C-alpha cells in the first residue's frame, strides 16, 4: 500500500471506504470482529437497572434526556480531527450544565470498545469508523445497536416544525437501515463520488466535460495528442472504478439495475446496461486512453500522477481534496462531475450521481444514556454544527444545507453544484457495504481490475462477476440484505 496512514484518516466517506479497504490497508479481516462480537452477544452485564432514568420531555428536550446523567462519546480520531465533535459537546454541556460529558477520540475503535461491549458497558455514542471499525452487519445481526428512529422523528434542532429526518440529505436514512424500518446508523459526513478533474486542464483542451461517451472518447483523444492520458485510477484497488461506473450503469439502465445487483439477483450483471458500460470503459483501455502503468498504482500514486497533470480524469470520492491536498497545485481548479452517459437513450438524465454517507455514528443498545447519545447527534445535525464541520474539514455533512456563508474549497464547491444538478437523481449502490468481500476482491480486483488491465474482455468480466455474485447469494454463511 502506498500509504496505509491514508486509510485511517477518516476522510469524507471513510465509514464506507474503510469498510471496503480495511483488510487491504492493514490486514484486518472481518473474522476477528465476528469472533469478538459473537462472544459479547452471549455475555451478561449492562442490565437495564444501570441505565439513566428518563428526564423530563420538553420542547427544548424532546428526547427526554436526564439532565444530570453522564454522557459518554467516543470518536474515531481520523482526518476530520476531533475539534468539530468537541465543539458539539460544548453545546451539549451548555444545554445540560449538570451533566458530565466524557469525550474521547481514538483510532483503535474495536480494540478500545471490544472489552466494553463484552461487559455490557459501551459508551452512549460512537463514531464507528477507521481501520478498526466494528462490522456493522454483525452489530445489527447481534442486536447490539439502538434504533435511531426516536432521533429521526424528534424535532430538528433549528426548527421545531421539522423532524430531524426531514433535514437530511438523500439516502442518509436508507443507508442506516439493514432490513426494513429500524435505522441503526447515522452517517454524518456526506461523500460525492464521481469523475474528478482539473477544470484548468479541461479548459486548456478547449473542452467541456463530456456528457456522452462519444464526447468522452473525443476529449481523451485530444488529451492524448497533448501528451496527457484520458484516465487513471487506483489500479491496485480497482474497487475505486465503481465510483463512476456504478452511477453510469444506473444512468444508462435505471436505478432498478443497481438494485438488482445489490439484491444479488440471478443475471443482474448480464443486463444490457451493464454490458454497454463495461464495453465503454474497456474502450478507454483499447484506445490507449488509460495512463500507462495504472494497473500497478495504488490510490495515492494514481492521485499524485493525476494531480501532476499526467491524466485528465480519475474516479474518486470527495475525500480526494483533503487526501491529495499536498500534491494538487494551487491553480488546479479541482472539479467533480457526474459520470458521462452513453447517449440520449439513457434512462436517467445527465447529472445522475452517486452520493452517500460516511462516518457512521451508532448508539449501542446497552448504552446507559441512549437519549443523551441521540441528543448529541441532534445537536451535530444542527445548521451551526454542520457549518462548523464543513468549514473545518472540507466535507459536507448529512444535514441538507449548512454551506451558506462559508468559503468553499474548489472541490467542495464543485461537489455542491453537482448535487444541485442531480436533484433527485442521486443513486446509492449498497453492494459496497452489504457485501464487502464480493465488492472489493471479486468485482473489483478479479473482475474490473483484470478487464481494465486488458486481461479479460467485458463479456468474460461479466461472466466472472456474475459467478461471484451467484456464489455469494448461495453462501449461507453470509447475511443477505435486500432493497425493501
pLDDT in tens, the chain (484 residues): 233 233 333 333 334 344 333 333 323 233 333 333 333 333 344 445 578 888 999 999 999 999 999 999 999 987 788 999 999 999 999 999 999 999 999 989 989 997 898 789 999 999 998 778 887 877 887 889 999 999 999 999 999 999 999 999 988 998 898 877 799 999 999 999 999 999 999 999 999 999 999 999 999 999 999 999 999 999 999 999 999 999 999 999 999 999 999 999 999 999 999 999 999 999 999 999 999 999 999 999 999 999 999 999 999 998 888 888 899 999 999 999 999 999 999 999 999 999 998 889 999 999 999 999 999 999 999 999 999 999 888 889 999 988 888 889 999 999 999 999 999 999 999 998 788 789 888 999 999 999 999 999 999 999 999 999 999 999 998 888 888 7
125-127 and 101-106 beta bridge pairing = unpaired
The pLDDT value given to residue 178: 81
Q: Rounded CA gap, 185 and 146, in Å? A: 9
The pLDDT value given to residue 49: 57
Q: Rounded CA gap, 379 and 359, in Å? A: 16
The pLDDT value given to residue 48: 55
Q: Is 14 helix (H, G, I), strand (E, B) or coil?
A: helix
Render the burial of 22-52: b for 16+ CB within 10 Å, e for the rest.
bbbbbebebeebeebbeebeeeeebeeeebb
Q: Tell me which residue of 118, 106, 172 sits closest to 364, measured CA to CA.
A: 118
Cα angle value 80/83/87 (rounded, 5°): 130
- Residue partners of 76: CB distance under 8 A and separation at least 6: 10, 14, 105, 106, 107, 109, 127, 128, 129, 130, 133, 359
Q: Rounded CA gap, 91 and 483, in Å? A: 37
Rounded (10°) angle between helices 109-119 and 30-41 = 20
Q: Rounded CA gap, 192 and 317, in Å? A: 6
- Residue partners of 214: CB distance under 8 A and separation at least 6: 343
Grid cell locating 83: 475539534
Q: Rounded CA gap, 112 and 472, in Å? A: 32
Beta strands in 68-121 (DSSP E): 71-76, 101-106
Domains and CATH numbers, the chain: 4-191+356-411 (3.40.190.10), 193-354+430-474 (3.40.190.10)
Q: Rounded CA gap, 169 and 176, in Å? A: 13
> Locate cell 459473537: which residue?
38
The pLDDT value given to residue 33: 35
Per DSSP, 339 falls in state: P
The pLDDT value given to residue 130: 76
Residue 396's φ and ψ, nearest 5 degrees, are -75, 160
Cα angle value 273/277/282 (rounded, 5°): 150
Render the burial of 246-270: b for 16+ CB within 10 Å, e for the rest.
bbbbbbbbbbbbbbbbbbbbeebbe
The pLDDT value given to residue 38: 35
**Count of positions (residues) in the chain:** 484
Grid cell locating 217: 472518447
Q: Rounded CA gap, 246 and 230, in Å? A: 19
Amino acid at each position: 500500500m502506498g500509504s496505509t496512514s491514508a486509510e485511517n484518516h477518516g476522510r469524507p466517506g471513510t465509514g464506507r471506504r474503510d469498510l471496503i479497504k480495511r483488510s487491504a490497508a492493514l490486514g484486518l479481516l472481518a473474522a476477528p470482529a465476528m469472533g469478538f462480537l459473537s462472544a459479547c452477544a452471549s455475555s451478561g452485564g449492562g442490565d437495564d437497572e444501570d441505565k439513566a432514568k428518563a428526564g423530563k420531555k420538553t420542547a427544548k428536550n424532546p428526547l427526554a434526556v436526564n439532565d444530570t446523567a453522564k454522557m459518554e462519546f467516543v470518536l474515531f480520531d481520523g482526518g476530520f480531527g476531533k475539534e468539530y465533535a468537541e465543539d458539539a459537546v460544548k453545546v451539549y454541556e451548555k444545554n445540560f450544565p449538570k451533566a458530565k460529558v466524557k469525550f474521547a477520540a481514538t483510532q483503535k475503535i474495536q480494540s478500545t470498545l471490544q472489552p466494553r461491549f463484552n461487559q455490557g458497558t459501551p459508551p452512549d455514542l460512537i463514531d464507528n469508523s477507521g481501520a478498526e471499525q466494528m462490522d456493522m452487519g454483525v452489530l445489527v445481526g447481534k442486536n447490539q445497536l439502538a434504533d435511531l428512529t426516536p432521533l429521526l422523528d424528534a424535532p430538528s434542532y433549528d426548527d421545531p416544525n421539522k423532524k430531524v429526518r426531514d433535514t437530511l440529505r438523500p439516502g442518509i436514512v436508507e443507508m442506516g437501515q439493514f432490513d426494513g424500518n429500524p435505522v441503526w446508523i447515522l452517517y454524518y459526513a456526506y461523500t460525492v463520488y464521481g469523475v474528478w478533474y482539473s477544470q484548468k486542464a479541461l479548459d486548456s483542451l478547449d473542452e467541456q466535460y463530456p456528457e456522452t461517451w462519444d464526447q468522452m472518447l473525443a476529449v481523451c483523444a485530444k488529451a492524448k495528442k497533448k501528451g496527457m492520458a484520458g484516465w487513471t485510477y487506483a489500479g491496485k484497488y480497482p474497487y475505486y472504478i465503481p465510483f463512476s461506473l456504478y452511477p453510469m450503469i444506473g444512468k444508462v439502465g435505471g436505478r432498478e439495475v443497481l438494485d438488482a445487483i445489490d439484491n444479488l439477483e440471478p443475471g443482474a450483471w448480464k443486463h444490457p446496461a451493464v454490458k454497454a458500460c463495461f464495453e465503454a470503459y474497456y474502450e478507454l483501455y483499447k484506445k490507449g486512453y488509460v495512463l500507462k502503468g495504472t494497473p500497478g498504482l495504488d490510490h495515492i500514486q494514481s492521485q499524485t500522477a493525476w494531480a501532476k497533470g499526467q491524466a485528465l480524469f480519475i474516479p474518486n470520492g470527495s475525500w480526494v481534496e483533503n487526501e491529495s491536498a499536498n500534491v494538487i497545485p494551487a491553480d488546479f481548479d479541482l472539479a467533480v462531475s457526474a459520470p458521462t452517459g452513453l447517449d440520449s437513450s439513457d434512462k436517467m438524465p445527465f447529472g445522475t450521481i452517486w452520493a452517500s454517507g460516511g462516518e457512521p455514528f451508532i448508539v449501542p443498545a446497552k448504552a446507559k444514556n441512549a437519549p443523551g447519545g441521540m441528543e448529541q447527534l441532534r445537536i451535530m445535525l444542527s445548521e451551526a454544527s454542520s457549518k462548523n464541520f464543513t468549514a473545518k474539514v472540507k466535507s459536507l455533512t448529512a444535514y441538507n444545507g449548512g454551506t451558506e456563508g462559508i468559503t468553499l474549497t474548489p472541490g467542495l464547491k464543485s461537489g455542491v453544484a453537482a448535487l444541485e444538478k442531480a436533484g433527485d437523481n442521486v443513486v446509492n449502490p449498497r453492494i459496497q457495504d452489504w457485501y464487502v468481500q464480493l465488492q472489493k476482491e471479486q468485482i473489483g480486483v478479479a473482475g474490473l481490475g483484470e478487464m481494465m488491465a486488458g486481461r479479460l474482455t467485458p463479456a468474460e468480466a461479466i461472466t466472472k462477476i456474475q459467478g461471484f455474485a451467484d456464489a455469494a447469494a448461495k453462501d449461507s454463511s453470509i447475511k443477505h440484505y435486500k432493497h425493501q
